Structure 1
Amino acid sequence: MCAAEVDHQVAQRYLLKRRLGKGAYGIVWKAVDRRTGEVVAIKKIFDAFRDKTDAQRTFREIMLLQQLGDHPNIIRLLDVIRAENDRDIYLVFESMDTDLNAVICKGRLLKDVHKRFIMYQLLRATKFIHSGGVIHRDQKPSNILLNASCLVKLCDFGLARPLGGLPEGPEGPALTDYVATRWYRAPEVLLSSSWYTPGVDMWSLGCVLGEMLRGRPLFPGTSTLHQLELILETIPPPSKEDLLALSSSFSAAVLPCLGSRPRQTLDALLPPDTPPEALDLLKGLLVFAPGKRLSAAQALRHPYVQRFHCPAREQTLDAAVRLPVLEGVQLSAPEYRSRVYQMILERRGGGPGGG
């Protein structure tokens, strides 16, 4: 392992065991806390405050996880460490064994009961964040962590947004400034609707469920237009009212061109032994109109996850989640960085090594 890859104060506190992955954004290691013996995952984000977009994403992920991380199905952020070069930053998380994407790729590892239990936990996490007015906006198998007991933890809140009591609908916040993974994007996102709702997460969860049932992605589009084609040849077509409700200039031009393709049904994409209640839940999530999709709270009462459903364990937040910087207010990259550093100092004040 290259010693230059990690700052001295991180190596002092954590014993790095192995590198779990490396990408353009940074590196993730499995490590052990030298003080407590706890196994952790350390994510080093390269140049986390490079520009306003990257800085805002880093800021949001840290601040939202501070407020949401007590839920059993959301990854816990244990520490945030400032890099000596003032550009990179380290996020220390609880450790998990794998992610849902890796499990699906290995094929036939998930039995019916596992799929139901994973879906139940995802719905429970989603109900929790939605109750605080937060939408994740990037639910997909690689952002769903698992351990050997099939415990689920939702991670990567870099694209998440708090709606923060802002009105929904055309007067509400314009949320078009992100590009989530195409295969899990809701139709209103693909059509550049000028506003959207927690329904974007419910669509993504439908795609995740479909992928668990099918063993491969449900709608593997190669472009935005192809993605829409795959969706619209499978799900029931939208009504005129559904289209108008999206407030998208794009939809009027694109959708009439897509109606002439041969149609297929959702069940034709799934194995013949798919339980009927799995297909029924899928149909309740993969609905064109966001307001007609099942909510997380409704989906938790669905027969597919009934054996795990326990209202007492499906907690909600008492108030809307608010970030220290209001939605719609844009800071500069250095301002976001100084806010994060201030938070690290405050955490340090709460005890040695932060929270």
Structure 2
Amino acid sequence: MDDFQAVEFRREGACANVYAARAGGRAVALKVSPVRQTPPHDALNEIEVLAAVAGDRVVAVLDAVLDQARGQVVLVMPLYEASLADAIDRGVAADDVRTITRDITGALAHVHARGVIHRDVKPGNVLLAGGRAVLADFGTAWPNLAAPDAEPADAKITDVSTSVYRAPELLFAYGAYSDRIDVWSWACVVAEMLTGRPLFGEPTTSEIGLANAIFRTLGTPDLATWPEAAAFASFAHIRFVPHAPRPLAEVLPVAADARAFVARMLVYESGRRASARELLADPYVA
């Protein structure tokens, strides 16, 4: 931190603080994380993952500094104007929603093609500048590139993603989930851009509470509509109130093409959920 000028605190996260600063005559953002973290948080893995998925719609890393004396990792990145969370608070214009949706759908397709699951897609992790968007914060991304055996593909950590953006399979501790958890989260974010409010209500820390909110909106699933749930240890032991799905036009009173795009992602069975690559060909963003 001593090598940067005009350092200004911006925000505090669960496992990192973000600062604005100047370095080499340019404005930068500094993400400062402790070296030692509780999985799935891993600042050193974030550096490796960002190098592996570098691309136009993924946040760039200008430098990475390991401060052994302070036990910190400092990621140096471009300073962006705002996050999508800021933009949603102000209201996002329809044309901007389409552009941001195209950008981040492309980012997810790029990341997933490289075998990486982001695991925390939410408005605060989408950064905006000049009318374009990039995907940021890979601090909980899978896999751990330095120690791939630490989190096997069929037994991944399920305490990932944030509140109302969590995919339903995570709510039932299904460790064999795929990159489609990012797709579900992205559906929730796009819906929130379109309406200005969270799709499944206010943030909650209760898995059952969120599951019930999803079921009240999309209908209560059974093994016919959600075969994957047969592998969930707890699904068969909980009796959920049966709800019929609400008309999507009522849930998302927006343009038909935008609504159809979101609907392709809001599918209980993850194998039937559209992939990010498939979504890039959707008329809404193509």
| Same fold at TM > 0.5 | yes
What is the one-letter code of the residue matched to 2:74? Y
Q: Tell me the distance in 1 between the aligned counterparts of 2:32 and 2:176.
A: 33
Please give the per-residue CA displacement for 1:140-165, whole angstroms capped at 9, x wherever unaligned.
00000001x2211111111111399x
Partner of 1:119: 101
What is the Cα deviation at residue 278 of structure 1? 0.7
What is the Cα deviation at residue 204 of structure 1? 0.6
Q: Tell me the distance in 1 between the aligned counterparts of 2:220 and 2:262.
A: 16
8 Å Cα contact 2:218/2:244 also seen in 1? no
Q: Structure 1: which 5+ residue stretches go unaligned? A: 1-9, 165-170, 307-355
Q: Tell me the distance in 2 between the aligned counterparts of 1:192 and 1:101.
A: 27
What is the Cα deviation at residue 76 of structure 1? 0.9
What is the one-letter code of the residue matched to 1:213? L
Partner of 1:11: 2
Aligned counterpart in structure 2 of residue 201 of structure 1, from 182, 199, 209: 182
Partner of 2:125: 143
8 Å Cα contact 2:53/2:114 also seen in 1? no
Q: Does 1:38 align with 2:26?
A: yes
Alignment of 1:68-217 (within 5 A): 68-69=53-54, 71-83=55-67, 85-107=69-91, 110-147=92-129, 149-162=130-143, 172-217=153-198
Tell me the number of residue pairs that the alignment of Structure 1 and Structure 2 aligns.
Answer: 277
What is the Cα deviation at residue 95 of structure 1? 1.5
What is the Cα deviation at residue 245 of structure 1? 2.0
What is the Cα deviation at residue 226 of structure 1? 1.5
| Rg (Cα) greater in structure | 1
8 Å Cα contact 1:127/1:296 also seen in 2? yes
What is the one-letter code of the residue matched to 2:276? A
Percent identical across equivalent pairs?
Answer: 30
**Equivalent position SS for 2:191:** helix
Please give the per-residue CA displacement for 1:179-233, whole angstroms capped at 9, x wherever unaligned.
3212011111111113111110110110011101110111135321111111112
Partner of 1:58: 43
What is the Cα deviation at residue 241 of structure 1? 4.2
Partner of 1:67: 52
Closer/same/farther in 2, CA of residues 266 and 38 from structure 1, 3 Å limit: same
Q: Structure 2: which 5+ residue stretches go unaligned? A: 146-151
Partner of 1:48: 35
Q: Could you tell which deviates more after superposition, 77-86 or 222-231?
A: 77-86
Partner of 1:339: none
Q: Tell me the distance in 2 between the aligned counterparts of 1:278 and 1:163.
A: 35
Q: Tell me the distance in 1 between the aligned counterparts of 2:144 and 2:69.
A: 34
Structure with more of its chain in helix, by fraction: 1
**Equivalent position SS for 1:19:** strand
Aligned counterpart in structure 2 of residue 268 of structure 1, from 250, 262, 277: 250
Q: Tell me the distance in 2 between the aligned counterparts of 1:120 and 1:26.
A: 28
Q: Does 1:238 align with 2:217?
A: no
8 Å Cα contact 1:211/1:218 also seen in 2? yes
What is the one-letter code of the residue matched to 1:124? G
Closer/same/farther in 2, CA of residues 138 and 24 from structure 1, 3 Å limit: closer
Q: Tell me the distance in 1 between the aligned counterparts of 2:81 and 2:60.
A: 14
Partner of 2:269: 289
TM-score by length of 1: 0.72
Q: Tell me the distance in 1 between the aligned counterparts of 2:16 and 2:178.
A: 30
Closer/same/farther in 2, CA of residues 233 and 101 from structure 1, 3 Å limit: same
**Equivalent position SS for 2:32:** strand
Q: Tell me the distance in 2 between the aligned counterparts of 1:83 and 1:16.
A: 19
8 Å Cα contact 1:235/1:288 also seen in 2? no
Partner of 1:227: 210
**Equivalent position SS for 1:134:** coil
**Equivalent position SS for 2:59:** coil
Superposition CA RMSD, Å: 2.2
Closer/same/farther in 2, CA of residues 175 and 19 from structure 1, 3 Å limit: same
Partner of 1:303: 283
What is the one-letter code of the residue matched to 2:56? P
Q: Tell me the distance in 1 between the aligned counterparts of 2:14 and 2:60.
A: 23
Q: Tell me the distance in 2 between the aligned counterparts of 1:237 and 1:163.
A: 35
Partner of 1:336: none
What is the Cα deviation at residue 266 of structure 1? 2.8
